[in-house]
Amino acid sequence: MPIRNPLIMAIFAALALSAAPAHASKAFDACVRKLCVSADQMDCWVKAGSELCNDQGSCQDLQDHTGARVLTKAKKQWKVETQYGTGWVSERYMMVDSSFCPGL
């Protein structure tokens, strides 16, 4: 018997949409922990246009495809170790080789 109540349909739709990102986020986090373990490998990198900012607020530009080891993340910032030093980059500049992360 199909559900015809619009309110119940909207609730089910909202639940379905909210569940998918949480699962994808957990899978992505697991993939990052598995892949982003060294600044010398290229499974994780920072793309061009990013700045690496230390805890004192001093920033420097990074080259495209700078290898990165992820140390931690806080909201939309990732603390990474690179050949240029350790600091924070915006999550939108972090890249992970998705071929190693099936389902993402």
Residue 31 burial by Cβ neighbours in a 10 Å radius (0-12, 13-18, 19+): buried
Q: What is the pLDDT of residues 24-70, one digit of tens each?
A: 677 777 788 788 888 887 788 999 889 999 999 899 999 988 999 99
- Residue 73 confidence class, pLDDT cut points 50, 70, 90: confident
φ/ψ (deg, to 5) at 29? -60, -40
pLDDT for res 6: 55
Could you tell me which CATH number the domain at 36-98 has? 2.30.30.40
Helix locations, the chain, DSSP H: 6-35
- Amino acid 42 reads M
Q: Of the candidates 104, 78, 81, which has an alpha carbon nearest to the alpha carbon of residue 91?
A: 78
Mean pLDDT of 81-95: 92
Q: Is residue 3 a contact partner of residue 12, using CB atoms and an 8 Å limit? A: yes
**pTM of the predicted protein model:** 0.68
In the chain, the percentage of residues whose pLDDT exceeds 90 is 30
